[in-house]
Amino acid sequence: MNVGFKQYPLVFIAAFALAVGLNACASMGSPDGGRYDEEPPRVVSSTPLSGSVNAGVKKINIRFNEFIKLENASEKVIVSPPQSEMPNISAEGKSVKITLYDSLRANTTYTVDFGDAIVDNNEGNPMGKYTFSFSTGPTIDTMEVSGTVLNAENLEPVKGILVGLYPADSTWADSLFRTQPFLRVGRTNGMGQFSIKGVRPGRYRAHALQDMDGNNIFSQKAEALAWDTTAFETSQRPDLRPDTVWLDTAHIDRIRMVPYIHYFPDNIVLRSFLEEGQDQHLLKHERKGPYSMTFFFTAPQDSLPRIEADDFDAGRSLLVEASARRDTITYWITDTALAHRDTLQMRITYPDTDTTGVAVPRTDTLSVVPRMSYARMRQDLLKKSEEWQKEQDKKRRRARGKFVESENPYAQTFLQPLLRPGASIAPNGNFTYEFTEPIARADSSKLHLSIKKDSLYLPVPFLLLPDPATKRRFTLYAEWEPGAAYRFEADSLAFISYFGHPTRSIVNDLRVRPEDEFGSIFVRLTGGDGDADTSRVVQLLDSGDKVVAEQRARDARADFFYLKGGKYYLRLFVDRNGNGKWDTGNYDARQQPEEVFYFPQPIPLKERFDVEQSWDYRAIPLTQQKPTAITKQKADKQKSIRARNRERDEEMKRNSKKR
């Protein structure tokens, strides 16, 4: 049945027309969801009030004007004084609720520093730095101290380490770090910066602690620590700081000076370190193949482990190869009959740290099994040999009598040394040959080095010396001529491993690069009064903060030759004990780690150029020394309120122009 519009009331016709109109508008541009919330959360009340005195409550409720959440609360929120039992801090709707479980101390200021952890629930707008405080006594302490924690070895900012205060004038202050929690505490951010609030006026010393066990005291060597040998006194004064007022994201309206209370000290620098003698434990052991087994320890060993067995003599059957720090120790099984066994039963005795922190002898009984047994390895070689022989037979049939038989590479195991650093070196370098197995015999009569003169190779004197730390590495020494070509030759059977595996003949064409492919950097040290000249070790670094070369200063200078073109950095450490390496500190001995300094800018170097660089390494604060380009610990990403309404308005203007 046909029904006309005249049969419907006018209201339905009007509604239909409105719907059609809205649909037409929608096709041109949909309306958005309204303006964004760009206001940060705001505290409207709290129980008790922030700044209250004579407050004895252990439950705190902070209410906001909108729904909020806490971001990274475990990292950013810090309660001071430090709590033995972790407080419960949670966001619930428009509130943050805090429950303290420790007994409250009398006449003490409590602070809950949220940092920038509080954001609104919908848009993530940060509230900004916020601290809640109250006092159990009649007054509230408002002093603050601040500074930076740096890694003592490389001046990297240390993130997330606790920094606390102890009284400076106490006669028992030296033992506090091991027996009593901090009076006040803060935590460092991504730049290593800390601020400790709610401090009572007085004299203090600052300490830092990477608290591994949560007991708020320095109790184990696995905890990084730092302490300031100089006491300080808190103070404050009125001051002004600039505050930028922006017209928009790109234009400044004005810079106004805002009054505030400036608290001191604000430039404490603590150098954190791990003590030597970390807890010693056997981490794991492995036997990748039949001929060796490796033991991994959590810390360097003062002495080698003792290995005993009922059915073999470890002293005769095992060849030891230890890493430089003796935390990785490899035993080569030189008795081939023993190496062919699938399982080795043995006892290993080594220093192991007990629950009191003392290293005592421990003996473990182990069954050491290779990932690939000797029988499996031989089986795989036989299979590959057969497959290779079948392929050779196919080639012979296709060649029809013109085939040249080659040697089966799987019939016997040969050693192939690795040439380091490669086929060319700087004039002050040397070549190194590294084998996969320890070498039992090197026949010098089968070794030859010659220099190319015109079209001839003429013999030259040389030395090929084994590395004292391992029998797998040999260094080739000679009076290298810049720009010259050399040839190193080793006859077959020149090297034979402990397992009877020989080398084939070796021929390497070597090159010493010409001097005009290099540059030099000459460092002149100034300042440093009180530092003995030869105690200063200058290190040249690459863009990865790795040492390229180092020189002990002589007459306040360190010269680096034969450097490739590129960008370099400088580090210096004061070698107090003259052992040629950086040494860490020790708290009980009150020994600070050796001082480290960085030159604050990169040093660009071009080939065929020399750079003279003067360096007063104590002229600027440590916090401003390490170049940003080689600083691995970056600053935390700063939270800010996005100008989403401005973006929305601009988008709507663009859509309006299109219509």
- Look at the block and give the residue holding tokens 């505290």: 43
How many angstroms separate the CA atoms of 82 and 103, rounded?
Answer: 12
Task: Report the DSSP beta bridge partners of residue 157.
Answer: 150
Say if CB 586 and CB 221 are below 8 A apart: no
Contact 127, 118 (CB under 8 A): yes
- 264: Cβ contacts below 8 Å, ≥ 6 apart: 145, 234, 235, 236, 237
DSSP bridge pairs for 145: 196
In this predicted structure, the answer to whether residue 541 has a pLDDT above a threshold of 80 is: yes
- 340, pLDDT greater than 90: yes
**387 Cβ contact partners less than 8 Å away, ≥ 6 residues apart:** none
pLDDT attached to residue 96: 96
Residue 659 confidence class, pLDDT cut points 50, 70, 90: low
- 72 to 38, 174, 319, 503, 633: CA distances (angstroms): 22, 34, 51, 59, 18
CA 144 from chain centre, in angstroms, equals 30
639 by DSSP, 3-state: which?
Answer: coil
Per-residue CA distances from 269 to 82, 163, 228, 321, 440 (Å): 21, 11, 8, 41, 54
Q: Average pLDDT over the chain, rounded to whole?
A: 89
pLDDT of residue 209: 97
Given a cut of 80, whether residue 657 has pLDDT beyond it is no
CA atoms 341, 347, 349, 355: torsion sign:
positive
Please report which confidence band the pLDDT of residue 645 belongs to, taking 50, 70 and 90 as the band edges: low
Q: Model confidence over 594-616: pLDDT tens digits? A: 999 999 999 999 999 999 999 99
Q: Which residue has the higher pLDDT, 43 or 659?
A: 43
Q: What pLDDT score does 254 carry?
A: 85
Give pLDDT tens digits for 347-401.
999 999 888 778 899 999 999 999 998 889 889 989 998 998 898 888 888 887 7
Using pLDDT thresholds of 50, 70 and 90, give the confidence band for residue 60. Answer: very high
CB atoms within 10 A of CB 108: 18
The residue type at 606: K
What is the SS3 assignment for 283? strand
Q: Which pLDDT score, from 0 to 100, does residue 27 have?
A: 41
Examine the pLDDT at 26 and tell me if it is beyond 50.
no
Residues above pLDDT 90, as percent of the chain? 70
Burial category of 242 from C-beta neighbours within 10 Å (exposed 0-12, middle 13-18, buried 19 and up)? exposed
Percent of the chain with pLDDT over 70: 90
Q: Where are the beta strands (DSSP E) in 234-382?
A: 235-246, 252-264, 268-272, 282-286, 292-297, 306-308, 318-322, 328-333, 344-353, 359-368
